[in-house]
């Protein structure tokens, strides 16, 4: 039988304000969490930010985006770019397979990493199906 999982939406700025206003008025974390209908973990997650910036720091929610996404080593990126320039018809799978073949079939990079390297080097074609029909191209699109 499937396990029921409770979904808790992200907190709003009003909830965070209420949480810290109640905490400052009562001095009780439990009462503040009960009043704002939030978990104690949420309180301690936001407390460091509140201590550093006060109520203004509660306005901006935490970003869930990766802060430092992993990057391929420069030598691998250079090899990917060199392969694409030498063989313009090769796609990301072929390039990743050729790199693996040169490394005793041990994968060096993933397919999406090859694509990201080629996109950064402006060697990855933009899809033709991505543009809406009957929309004139701007001068920047070329």
pLDDT digits (tens, 9 = 90+) for 52-96: 999 999 988 877 777 777 788 999 999 999 999 999 999 999 999
Average pLDDT over residues 101-130: 89
Top pLDDT among 45 and 128 is at 45
Top pLDDT among 128 and 42 is at 42
pLDDT of residue 67: 76
Q: Which residue has the tokens 């060199």?
A: 82
Top pLDDT among 8 and 16 is at 16
pLDDT of residue 107: 94
Please tell me the pTM assigned to this model: 0.49
**Closest listed residue to residue 21, CA positions, set 10, 33, 9:** 33
How far is it, in rounded angstroms, from Cα 118 to Cα 112?
A: 10
**Closest listed residue to residue 108, CA positions, set 123, 121, 95:** 95
How far is it, in rounded angstroms, from Cα 83 to Cα 90?
A: 8
Q: Note whether 106 and 100 are within 8 A (CB).
A: yes
């Amino acid at each position: 039988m499937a396990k029921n999982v409770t979904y808790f939406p992200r907190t709003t700025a009003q909830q965070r304000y209420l949480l810290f206003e109640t905490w400052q008025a009562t001095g009780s974390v439990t009462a503040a969490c009960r009043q704002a209908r939030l978990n104690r973990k949420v309180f301690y997650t936001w407390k460091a930010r509140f201590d550093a910036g006060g109520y203004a720091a509660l306005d901006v929610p935490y970003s869930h985006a990766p802060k430092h996404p992993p990057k391929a080593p420069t030598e691998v990126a250079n090899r990917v770019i060199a392969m694409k320039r030498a063989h313009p018809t090769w796609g990301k799978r072929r390039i990743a397979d050729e790199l693996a073949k040169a490394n005793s079939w041990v994968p060096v990079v993933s397919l999406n990493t090859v694509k990201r390297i080629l996109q950064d080097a402006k060697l990855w074609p933009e899809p033709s199906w991505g543009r809406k029909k009957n929309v004139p191209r701007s001068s920047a699109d070329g």
